[in-house]
Amino acid sequence: MAMNMQRERILEALSLAERHIGAGECQLRLQRQVIAELHRGGHDAADAEVLLRSNEQTQKLHFADRSRLLRELAASSGQQQA
């Protein structure tokens, strides 16, 4: 029973990580559009580019979290079968 609860917890966290990744992709796309518009308009995009880099780092963390959770899920599946 405890193994099922652990697996459920991992699946919930995995679902959240997937939502974060999806939202992050949208945010990155929008931020790149903002930067392109600033450049086209001859405006300084330095602050927008800093924000983009920060968002890219956050997105990398979301991907790493998802990878970790997938490993945990695989390990819990292996333990269930044992």
Going by pLDDT thresholds of 50, 70 and 90, the confidence category of residue 82 is very low
Contact at 8 Å (CB) between 71 and 9?
no
In the chain, the number of structural domains is: 1
User: pLDDT tens for residues 15-74?
Assistant: 999 999 999 999 999 999 999 999 999 999 999 999 999 999 999 999 999 999 999 999
Residues spanned by the domain of 77:
2-81
Question: Rounded to whole angstroms, how far apart are CA atoms 54 and 67?
Answer: 20
Is 28 within 8 Å of 49 (Cβ atoms)? no
pTM: 0.84
C-alpha–C-alpha distance, residues 13 and 45, integer Å: 35
pLDDT averaged over every residue in the chain: 93
- Check: CB of residue 28 under 8 Å from CB of residue 59: yes
Three-state secondary structure call for residue 24: helix
Q: To which residue do tokens 């890219």 refer?
A: 56
- The pLDDT tens digits of the residues spanning 22-32 come to 999 999 999 99
